[in-house]
Amino acid sequence: MTAQRIDGNALSQKLRADVTHRTAALKSKGVTPGLAVVLVGENPASQVYVRNKVKACQDSGLYSVLEKYPENMTEEALLARINGLNNDASIHGILVQLPLPVQIDAQKVIEAISPAKDVDGFHIASAGALMTGMPGFWPCTPFGCMKMLESIGYDLKGKHAVVIGRSNIVGKPMAMMLLQQNATVTICHSATKNLKDITRQADVIVAAVGKRNVLTAEMVKPGAVVLDVGMNRNDEGKLCGDVDFAGVEQIASYITPVPGGVGPMTITMLLVNTLEAAERTVI
Ligand code: NAP
């Protein structure tokens, strides 16, 4: 069996068309969804990420502003700026690009963002809302994974989902979202013993580790659905995921490629969250 690919670019295009449509409807009511992207320092990867986020907003008709600050910005100054954005009615979503320079406590900055504008879903209030099934913003990457499962009509009820990785931004929220859809969820991490024995039992595997070939063909049950969140470089310097794609593709029923899988979905869900933040102001 060769797995069907879940195409993150194609799904993103579809979802972004809906964002564009809903944005136009909101604009006709006098509200333009606005996202502020805050970048501190000169991290080259971060510069690319923020540019892509701002461009994606503009392409879908949202307002987006990129605020760049020097590497030596103080925590106090950044907190003051977040406060300003919290009180700016033209801004519905605030995204502070991570990592931040060492003198700034990233968690403190995230907690300073109003939960109503926390479109990254990293605020403790957003995490609590996800944990308790209350309305809030879901972190974009796992949210994108859920949309990918939805796009193939996958019913998670009673299925065994294994998440490899337990970060606050991917692994843990991913597990909560799968649980909310009635999957039986196992979370694996660096101290997990016999990873293969666990993944072999999975109907759905989400790999969110950041290491190449963490998931290989012999670790996958025939017909499983495999979502690859990882972003790594192979020996030729090309982007690759955590999954041995060539091998696992022969075993799984569905698989997400890297690039062109989960990556584009992350930005798309940022647009969705920003739009929803704006829509909530007029309801
Ligand atoms: P992270 O904070 O470094 O977390 C990695 C997790 O993997 C940790 O929980 C760690 O366990 C676990 N782990 C490490 N080695 C392992 C092993 N050998 N077996 C099982 N688990 C292991 O990373 P992250 O922020 O969640 O990101 C994970 C990957 O996704 C990275 O490649 C990142 O670049 C990528 N990513 C992609 C997107 C996207 O848009 N496509 C978005 C976000 C992240 P411990 O907790 O025990 O240390």
> What's 74's domain CATH number?
3.40.50.10860
Tell me the pTM. Answer: 0.97
Are residue 252 and residue 170 in the same domain, yes or no? yes
Confidence of residue 1 (pLDDT cuts 50, 70, 90): confident
Considering only CA atoms, which of 203, 199, 229, 197 is closest in space to residue 215?
A: 199
Distance 201 CA to ligand 1 centre (A): 21
Asked whether residue 8 is domain-assigned, the answer is: no
pLDDT of residue 234: 93
Are residue 51 and residue 100 in the same domain, yes or no? yes
Are residue 168 and residue 106 in the same domain, yes or no? no
Instruction: Please choose from 189, 192, 269 the residue to mutate so as to test ligand 1's pocket, defined by most ligand atoms within 8 A of CB.
Output: 189
CATH number, residue 210: 3.40.50.720
pLDDT of residue 197: 98
Strands 160-164 and 204-207: parallel
pLDDT of residue 131: 98
Are residue 159 and residue 214 in the same domain, yes or no? yes
Instruction: Please choose from 46, 141, 148, 190 the residue to mutate so as to test ligand 1's pocket, defined by most ligand atoms within 8 A of CB.
Output: 190
Are residue 71 and residue 154 in the same domain, yes or no? no
Asked whether residue 279 is domain-assigned, the answer is: no
Asked whether residue 134 is domain-assigned, the answer is: no
Asked whether residue 80 is domain-assigned, the answer is: yes
Are residue 160 and residue 82 in the same domain, yes or no? no
pLDDT digit string (tens) for 153-211? Answer: 999 999 999 999 999 999 999 999 999 999 999 999 999 999 999 999 999 999 999 99
Average pLDDT over residues 77-102: 98
Protein residue with least CA distance to atom 32, ligand 1: 210
Tell me if 213 CB under 6 Å of ligand 1: no
Are residue 146 and residue 223 in the same domain, yes or no? yes
Tell me if 264 CB under 6 Å of ligand 1: no
Asked whether residue 203 is domain-assigned, the answer is: yes
| Mean pLDDT score of the chain | 97
Are residue 182 and residue 226 in the same domain, yes or no? yes
Are residue 213 and residue 108 in the same domain, yes or no? no
pLDDT of residue 28: 96
Domain boundary among 73, 99, 114: 114
Asked whether residue 244 is domain-assigned, the answer is: yes
Are residue 54 and residue 149 in the same domain, yes or no? no
Alpha-carbon distance of 127 to 271, in angstroms, equals: 19
Are residue 147 and residue 197 in the same domain, yes or no? yes
Q: How many CA atoms lie within 13 A of 145 on its CB side?
A: 29
pLDDT of residue 280: 96
Are residue 229 and residue 156 in the same domain, yes or no? yes
Considering only CA atoms, which of 141, 144, 87 is closest in space to residue 114?
A: 87
pLDDT digit string (tens) for 107-130? Answer: 999 999 999 999 999 999 999 999
- Ligand 1 atom closest to the Cα of residue 231 is 32
Average pLDDT over residues 136-157: 98
Asked whether residue 4 is domain-assigned, the answer is: no
Q: How far is CA 75 from the centre of its chain?
A: 25
Domain that holds residue 86: 30-114
Average pLDDT over residues 51-64: 96
Question: How many independent structural domains does the chain possess?
Answer: 2
Asked whether residue 215 is domain-assigned, the answer is: yes
